[in-house]
Amino acid sequence: MAEDIVSMLIEGFDPTKVKKEEFYDKDWQQVISARQNDKIIQAEISGIEPLGEKECAVVDIGQVRGYIPLEHSGAENIRQLRAMSGKKIAFKVVEYIEEEDRRMFVASRTAALDEMAQITLRKIKVGDSIMAVVRSVSPVLVRADIGGIEVKIPLDQLRYGWIDDLTEEVKPGDHLKVKVLSIDPEKKEVQVSPKALQKNPWETAKTRYKVHSEYVGTVSGVRDFGVFVNLEPGVDSLASHLKYQSLQKGDRVLVRIYRIDYEKEQIQAKIVRVI
């Protein structure tokens, strides 16, 4: 009560500044607690700054700034560290500095990943269905995290059917449900597949498509060796190029099937009309 009365008598008093100081103290207590309890924390990489002679990723616990040196970030070089900016990462506080003019902490992402990986390897087994969070995507490969362990999902293991470019299917931050295919505890390597959890459309496709019959489909990819035409989710046919007309993804066409190989899950067809 007395504090409230005094604050009203102070010219230029700004209560928001007091609140920030209170939050700052709470944030600092969180930093100390994280170090003392060896706790894993997650925060976004908000920038890159030098600390001494080392380039560091910048992370914040509330209003308290922290630094993760490049060698403890999991990145091999500054280019990879830049690619991680804006992404939420896990880390452990390994040191904190409290001086008159500053409070800051130093953290390690690799220490957090190592502990997370050990826990993950103890909990999962082959055949399990788990969640993977996408970290990066190239046209042919998805890199994802399953708990301190990076897994690689090749293009042919994402789903059934032709995929032209993985970057059109998956984005960083997406959550994928995957099946554990193999585990190597010594190398800390795990193979997973979203496709392995999906129902195979080819099991019933034989009841829907016949040789010498014609069906409407959508162009799903154009390559030098032919045109992929999607007939239904997970089922694509491969047709030769039209002689006098170019096709693009999304074009609707009528194809005539002349060969079906259910064992190889392949349909060969000919485009007879562009719709």
Residues 10 and 50 in one domain: yes
Q: Which pLDDT score, from 0 to 100, does residue 245 have?
A: 81
Residues 206 and 187 in one domain: no
Residues 12 and 88 in one domain: yes
Checking if the pLDDT of 93 tops 90, the result is yes
Q: Which pLDDT score, from 0 to 100, does residue 1 have?
A: 46
Whole-angstrom Cα Rg for the chain? 27
Task: Select from 55, 81, 111 the last residue of a domain.
Answer: 111
Please tell me the pTM assigned to this model: 0.78
| Separation of alpha carbons 194 and 162, rounded Å | 15
Name the DSSP letter for residue 164. S
- Any idea what the CATH number is for the domain that residue 207 is in? 2.40.50.140
Residues 189 and 206 in one domain: no
Residues 102 and 7 in one domain: yes
For residue 215, what are the domain limits?
Answer: 202-274
Residue pLDDT, tens place only, 12-68: 656 666 555 556 689 999 999 999 999 999 999 999 999 988 999 999 999 899 999
- The pLDDT mean for the chain works out to 91
Q: Which residues contact 87 (CB under 8 A, 6 or more apart)?
A: 44, 45, 135, 172
Distance of CA 234 to the CA centre of its chain: 23
**Residue pair 108/91 in contact by the 8 Å Cβ criterion:** yes
Residue pLDDT, tens place only, 151-164: 999 999 999 999 99
Residue pLDDT, tens place only, 241-272: 988 788 999 999 999 999 999 899 999 999 99
Residues 176 and 235 in one domain: no
Q: Which pLDDT score, from 0 to 100, does residue 244 have?
A: 79
